[in-house]
Each structure stands twice: as structure tokens, then as C-alpha cells.
Structure 1
């Protein structure tokens, strides 16, 4: 390094005081002389300047970024609980109240039951311990069934007609040929009665007074 004066470790100003962990190292850098000689702007002498090298940061020195933990909010539950006319009372705080009897105003719950290879939605008059499904023109009594359990704010009733159902309609059963059946309800003789929506029949069926009754206008139980 012919441009560094003898007996002087660094050319120019003395190195500044370094904090702990840093090293002061001279680094050759191309610096133009002023004024540059004509036609020789790219052929300049080399000077030594000062450069401070920062030591590499150790992984242990980096503080970890705090992780935000977000707990999932509880999901609304829609489920079916096995029951009989004798044991259904145990579901009083879980069952979904879907309608009422016309003659005494007592509640009606949604149920479903297996019958002749079908899984059919129907109703349970919980205070009278009587459960029925609409099937083949009849109000069929059932004794073993499943009760719909859902929070009131997890479902809603949406008007529909002629066998149609909204996209969020709850599938509650099926025919022996695997056609889905949905939960519907209608007003009939002072009652608000749940039953089944049978899309290929273009209607909703309820059981009432020993018979299966059909309606073209109805409400469908859907997820919120």
C-alpha cells in the first residue's frame, strides 16, 4: 500500500473508539482524485479509508416475536339425540322448540325416525309424550326416534314453496332411494306443526289428526 505513510497504521483520521464487539478494519476503496487527469477518469489511484465491520448477530441475541394466541369461538351445535317418548324429557334444555299444538299451545319438537327404509322428520308433543311422522298419507306414531338439539340462534326459518329449499337448509332424513328430506313447518288449524319437505313431491308434509297433510307454501329450517 504505497499511499499509506510509514509508521502510521491508518491513513487519514485515526480510527474512532469502538463499542464492545466491533472491529475496526481498513478497507481499500476506489476514490477519484480531483481534478482527474484528462482522458484518465477511470484510472485513479487507490486510497485506504476506514470501514467498521459489525459482527454477525447471534441467533440467541434476537428476541422472539410474541405469538398472539386466538382461541376459537365455540361453534353453534346442531345435533340429533336418541330418545323415546319416556326419556325425551331429559332433553328439555337442549331440544329445539319448532312449533306448538293448536288446541292447548303446548310445544312441538322436531324429531326423525326410521320407518320402512326411510328416515323421516316429524314432530314430538313433549307434554303429551306422543311422537308422529307423516308417511304414505298417514300420521304414523313412533316410539324410538332422534330429537333435534340446537340453540335457537343457530337456526332460522325461511319461507319456501313447491318443494324448494334454501341452500342452507338442514338435511334431516332421506327416502329409501336416498332423496334428502328437510325440516318444514306450516300453520294448520291453529297449530304450528313441523314436518318434512319432500322436494320431488313439490310440497311439505305434516302429520295431523291421524292423516298426512301436504302444503305448497311452508317454512324450511336452515342454519344461520
Structure 2
């Protein structure tokens, strides 16, 4: 979840069930490293197959105006490289380790967060049980990526979570990431569900 959360003295620890959260801050929690260290593992049975989900989260604490923390920039696979300085890397592809950046695109009348492996032909949006290729999308950009820290999530949406999109019915979607089949993949979170 892209979260702006006011906190003054100490860091808050959050635990995830099956996905992680993303947040921004001007003051970072010192107890977390920026390494992709698993904080939580869970065995999930999906379509008859068993997978271990390794969960990471991102969170931080802000004392400023959240409107200027992120910017969604219209892009496509050709122009996305123009924003490599500000694009948020939130995972990696399992096959070759290529970094995955956060994007969002319209799928079936929903604006859904997803990912684009750097130097790829498409963005990808996991939605309604399918992966949709996105030739045009919005890229999630930040001016200072040092304001990011991944941390666990307790399953409750933060009060100041920043929306990453919405469903066709108007339900807010947030940005999360989960380790699935050897990849750490950003995607959409709604309440306690990772798409």
C-alpha cells in the first residue's frame, strides 16, 4: 500500500497475511534494511498447486504533504526508460531477475496497479484471475527513492493509504507486492486481497 502515515517518535511494526504494503515518509524506520529479506512465509494452495509466498512490505512516515510524494506519469514501454531516475522498483522477475517497476493501467473499467519489468515490451496487470498486457500505462514516480522502506503489514489498511487505482465498482485499490513463483511482483491490493 502506498501509505502516508504520521508517526513522531518510534517505528511501527506491521505483519502481513499474504501480501505487503508500500508507503512513503520523510522519516524512515531504522529497523528495516533495504535488502529484499523475507519477513513472512506462508503456504498457499492455488488451483491445486502449493506455493510458498514470501512477503515483504514497504512503509514509512511522513510529516509533509502527501500530494507531492508520488506522481503518476503516462508512459509506454518505449518512453518508460525516460523516467528510470524516478520509477519505483518494487520487485524482480523470477526468470532473469529483471527489476519490476510499479505501473497502473485500465483493465475492464478498473484502474489497476501492476508491474513492468525494465527493458520489456509490455506492462503487466494481474486482474480477475488473469494477467493482462498493457501497452500504455501510468508509471509510479518519486523524486527521492531513499524515502522508501519495505516492512510488514498487519492486514489493516492504513488510515492514510494512497490509492493506486480502483475497481469497476469504485472500490479503492492500493499497491502491494508478494513473492510468487520465484518472482517478487508488485500488484493491486484491496482490503485483505492481493490480485
Q: Same fold (TM over 0.5)?
A: yes
Report what 2:71 is aligned to.
Answer: 79
Secondary structure of the residue that 1:104 maps to in structure 2? coil
Larger proportion of strand: 1
Cα displacement (A) at 1:85: 1.4
Cα displacement string for residues 92-119 of structure 1 (whole angstroms, at most 9, x for unaligned residues) = 1111111111121111000000122110
Q: CA offsets, 1:14-60, max 9 Å, x none?
A: xxxxxxxxxxxxxxxxxxxxxxxxxxxxxxxxxxxxxxxxxxxxxxx
- Residue segments in structure 2 that go unaligned for 5+ positions in a row: 1-63
Q: Confirm whether residue 158 of structure 1 aligns to residue 151 of structure 2.
A: yes
Give the superposition deviation at 1:134: 1.1
Moved over 4 A (4+): 73-76
Q: CA RMSD in A?
A: 2.2
Larger Cα-atom Rg: 1
Residue 102 of structure 1 corresponds to 94
Unaligned runs of 5+ in 1: 1-72, 206-224
Cα deviation for residue 177 of structure 1 reads 1.6
Q: Give SS of 1:153's match.
A: helix
CA distance in 2, matches of 1:158, 1:171: 18
Say whether the 8 Å CA contact 1:113–1:133 is kept in structure 2: yes
1:133 aligned residue (103, 125, 128) = 125
Q: Is 1:203 equivalent to 2:187 in the alignment?
A: no
Q: Assess if the C-alpha contact under 8 Å between 1:158 and 1:166 holds in 2.
A: no
In 2, are the aligned partners of 1:161 and 1:203 still within 8 Å (CA)?
Answer: no
Aligned residues: 130
